Amino acid sequence: MWVPVEYASTPQGRSEMKRELNRLIKEWSPSLIAIDMPVADEPVTGYREADRATTRAFSRFGCPVHSPTPQRPGGWGEFCVQILHEKGYRCKTGLPLEGLSFVEVYPHTALLKLLRLSKRFPYKISRASRYWPEGSPAQRKEKILQHFEIILEALAQDLEMSDVEMRASIDSSLREIKQVEDHVDAFICAWSALQIRKRQFRPFGNPDAAIWNPMVKELDLMARSP
């Protein structure tokens, strides 16, 4: 049985982030780290073949990729990669995964496989008004929380994982719900890393940068199955 050992919101500030990343790496010694952010061994400043390839393959599922910019991932992303490099990690854009590795993943495409879907799953609180324009703020919150539950239940079933408490309710603030969303994304990233280990995901991109996604043919087969 898999058990989530730790999760928290992203530290604010470089010194706190460095301290937290160093602590996590020292305490848990992960051999593979999956990151939901444009990353590579070199600074990411614009649109890459990784983004083009993922967009070409997954636009029909409603999962194109936003263009990286000098601001996103920007200095925060470069600092994160710098810390990983100092600890001996390198960005992997293909198999085999040898040594200490970090990879870029995309939760929206991962959810297509996890939930056996043919379309992007709506679970981002910042987009709730677009998902359900006729709903009230309370109704949108309720739908988002329901979708968090669907994701967490699917992860628990797939991993035979112990239950994870969702620390949000209809009375929670948008900020508190966003924190839970970040936790959900972290679990999806961890599941994606396991899929990469099992060779169920493949890299989309080139040797400079890659996004690891499910195999499109498998998604097509799932979409056609009853």
For residue 3, is it within any domain? no
For residue 8, is it within any domain? no
Asked if the model's pLDDT at residue 8 lies above 90, the reply is no
The DSSP symbol for 95 reads S
For residue 223, is it within any domain? no
pLDDT value, residue 3: 62
CA angle in degrees (0–180, nearest 5) for 132-224-197: 85
Range of the structural domain that residue 129 is part of: 14-218
What is the spatial distance between Cα 137 and Cα 213, in angstroms, rounded to a whole number? 33
For residue 210, is it within any domain? yes
pLDDT digits (tens, 9 = 90+) for 31-59: 999 999 999 999 898 899 999 999 999 99
CB under 8 Å to 123, separation ≥6 — which residues?
Answer: 111, 144, 147, 148, 151, 181, 184
Mean pLDDT, range 75-90, rounded to an integer: 91
For residue 4, is it within any domain? no
For residue 118, is it within any domain? yes
For residue 93, is it within any domain? yes
CB under 8 Å to 52, separation ≥6 — which residues?
Answer: none
What tokens appear for 82 in the block? Answer: 């710098």
Q: How many domains does the chain have?
A: 1
